[in-house]
Structure 1
Amino acid sequence: MAGRSRIEWTEVTWNPTTGCDRISAGCDNCYALTLANRLKAMGAAKYQRDGDPRTSGPGFGVTLHEDTLSAPLRWREPRLVFVNSMSDLFHARVPVDFVRRVFDIMAATPQHTYQVLTKRATRLARIAHRLPWPENIWMGVSVENEQTTARVAALRRVPAAVRFISAEPLLGSLNGLDLADVHWLIAGGESGSGARPVDPDWVRQLRDQCLRDEVAFFFKQWGGRTPKAGGRILDGRTWDQMPSRGPGAPPSYRPMTA
């Protein structure tokens, strides 16, 4: 029930829900929507519910997967887990009780580290008090341009041990982004058909601010026709900083090694 991931900042994906709806510019070329369409055509059972064609698409209707909930309980070795790579756990059509059950599973498996990412930061902040927040849950928001920076303020209201920002696809300058109480920032360019180019200066601005503020910085990709088309070298090196992991480990800046 978990898939090994090619995403550089995680190890496996876990999708107790699938499906979503586009809500901002960062969703315009959603990789998950395209993949869901292909999986539906292949007959994959989890992708047979269609979403609203105005905001979603074939195989991408929001669906809860009861049979997937308990999967982490069976994983013996510790894993770094991206939760809902094919959905948004804080979508309005995911009941709060189901969100709570997902969080209960994460709390019951402290050997794993979970990375939860949402664009629906307002709902996240509104229901955060109803959820457990053990140290192995990292909570993040997607911020693709200046118009979406309010999501960071909502994230700061959440009592997660690690808070992070995914600036991918990065569609504009975020120079001066307030990184107070943020522990990690991922940046990356868009990939796929019709990928919008990222300005290298936008990436450098985020890297330099992270270095100043001692926020871990991870540069995922330049993007292009495929995710790896442009590589991931920024100014002669890769940038793979991560927050600290492990029971009791406080969030901290991890400097680059030579």
Structure 2
Amino acid sequence: MSTNIQWCDETWNVIVGCSRVSGSPGCARCYAAKAAKSPRLQQFPQYQTVSNWDGTVEFVKSQLIKPLSWKKPKRIFVCSMADLFHANVPDEWIHQVMAVVVLSPQHTFQILTKRPERMKEYFSQQSLWIKWYEAAKDFLWDAISEKFGGLINLQQYFIDQPFPLPNVWLGTSTENQLMANKRIPILLEIPAAVRFLSCEPLLEEIDLRQGGAIQKLISDSYEWELVNEDIQWIVVGGESGPNSRPCHMEWIESIVQQCQQSQTPVFVKQLGANAIFEGQRFKTRDKKGGDIEEFPQELQVREFPFSIHE
């Protein structure tokens, strides 16, 4: 694993740069905006270009074919230092990214956005496979020609792909109830093998039934039960970094309980740097509260949805 993000094996930053979403408190202390300015990343020209975090985006061509070289199956977080569906990212760049995804069926690609409207618009286009094929032919042919031997074979490969792609998980960030109610219904309209939520940084208690992720039904015995609808995975965690906003562990516990009752896999990533339990600061040795051994037992849950590799 070459990333500190516990729920993926690799990050793939073929596009970098973003801007904060107006009205979205999860953007207020964006980890990526801070990291882009760090000395560690400022040594790379792409991060020098986007360091103001003002919507400037950069396509890092040297990173495009990276997943093709990873033979062992990996869970890959796409654009951890960007939002693939930012308004300033042209469709042509997304086509190239998706062409690599299609050509890498051994991997699972986790695509997370705070802009599900654009994600829905993109995946609603007609004949996307043609655009992905054209991107593969124009930008990737040198890297893949030996495997396919000819453009006709390459074209047929793209024609034969199922939709939605089985190795693509699509997710949206839901840091509070307002964002959950706004973004989840849009995500549910997008075809995906797996849809997921990132409730991080969790800034208040969230009832996932309100957003439509899970619904409350009455059984024949007239007892209330939660039934999983269309969200197959939920990641939850508190905020990290200096001046982190508080995350009450009861909020995390509520998410875990909702997921367990609806049989939805849940991944508790971290308690956060400012975890609160029963009104008191919950101190951890790990500065992000990310050591699962320090979690209360009921929060020691790190599950994944079904995978094409299982």
Cα distance in structure 2, aligned partners of 1:39 and 1:117: 26
Cα distance in structure 2, aligned partners of 1:120 and 1:216: 23
Secondary structure in 1 aligned to 2:306?
Answer: coil
Q: State whether residues 175 and 202 of structure 1, in contact with CA within 8 Å, keep that contact through their aligned partners in structure 2.
A: no
Cα distance in structure 2, aligned partners of 1:142 and 1:176: 13
Cα distance in structure 1, aligned partners of 2:197 and 2:296: 19
- State the TM-score, normalized to the length of structure 1: 0.86
1:242 corresponds to which residue?
A: 304
- State the TM-score, normalized to the length of structure 2: 0.73
Shift of 1:40: 7.4
Shift of 1:230: 6.0
Structure 1, unaligned stretches of length 5 or more? 250-258
2:28 corresponds to which residue?
A: 28
Which is further off, 82-91 or 40-49?
40-49
Q: How does 1:220-235 map to 2 (within 5 A)?
A: 220-224=269-273, 228-229=288-289, 231-232=291-292, 233-235=295-297
Secondary structure in 1 aligned to 2:26?
Answer: helix
1:161 corresponds to which residue?
A: 193
Which is further off, 83-92 or 73-82?
73-82
Shift of 1:212: 1.2
CA-to-aligned-CA distance 1:94-134 (integer Å, 9 cap, x gap): 00121122112101110011111000011111111235631
Q: State whether residues 114 and 173 of structure 2, in contact with CA within 8 Å, keep that contact through their aligned partners in structure 1.
A: yes
The one-letter amino acid paired with 1:21 is S
Cα distance in structure 2, aligned partners of 1:221 and 1:199: 12
Q: Do the aligned partners of residues 230 and 65 (structure 1) sit closer, same or farther apart at CA in structure 2, a change above 3 Å counting?
A: closer
1:254 corresponds to which residue?
A: none
Q: Do the aligned partners of residues 145 and 236 (structure 1) sit closer, same or farther apart at CA in structure 2, a change above 3 Å counting?
A: closer
Q: State whether residues 190 and 227 of structure 1, in contact with CA within 8 Å, keep that contact through their aligned partners in structure 2.
A: no
Pick aligned residue for 1:172 from 187, 200, 204? 204
1:18 corresponds to which residue?
A: 16
Cα distance in structure 2, aligned partners of 1:182 and 1:41: 34
Q: Do the aligned partners of residues 11 and 202 (structure 1) sit closer, same or farther apart at CA in structure 2, a change above 3 Å counting?
A: same
Shift of 1:41: 7.2
Structure 2, unaligned stretches of length 5 or more? 130-163, 214-228, 275-285
The one-letter amino acid paired with 2:19 is D
CA-to-aligned-CA distance 1:59-94 (integer Å, 9 cap, x gap): x83111222111111112111111111000000000
The one-letter amino acid paired with 1:144 is E
| Structure number having the greater helix percentage | 2
Rg larger in structure: 2
1:252 corresponds to which residue?
A: none
2:172 corresponds to which residue?
A: 141
Q: How many residues align?
A: 241
Cα distance in structure 2, aligned partners of 1:199 and 1:165: 19
Q: Does 1:99 align with 2:131?
A: no
CA-to-aligned-CA distance 1:3-27 (integer Å, 9 cap, x gap): 8111111111001100110111101
Q: State whether residues 266 and 304 of structure 2, in contact with CA within 8 Å, keep that contact through their aligned partners in structure 1.
A: yes
Cα distance in structure 1, aligned partners of 2:238 and 2:96: 33
Cα distance in structure 1, aligned partners of 2:287 and 2:18: 21
Q: State whether residues 16 and 50 of structure 2, in contact with CA within 8 Å, keep that contact through their aligned partners in structure 1.
A: no
Secondary structure in 2 aligned to 1:169?
Answer: coil
Q: Does 1:208 align with 2:257?
A: yes
Cα distance in structure 2, aligned partners of 1:147 and 1:119: 13
1:86 corresponds to which residue?
A: 81
Task: Determine what percentage of the aligned residue pairs are the same residue.
Answer: 35
Pick aligned residue for 1:190 from 222, 235, 239? 239
Secondary structure in 1 aligned to 2:247?
Answer: coil
Shift of 1:43: 2.2
Q: Does 1:116 align with 2:114?
A: no
Cα distance in structure 2, aligned partners of 1:8 and 1:41: 21
> What do you get for the CA RMSD once the two structures are aligned?
2.1
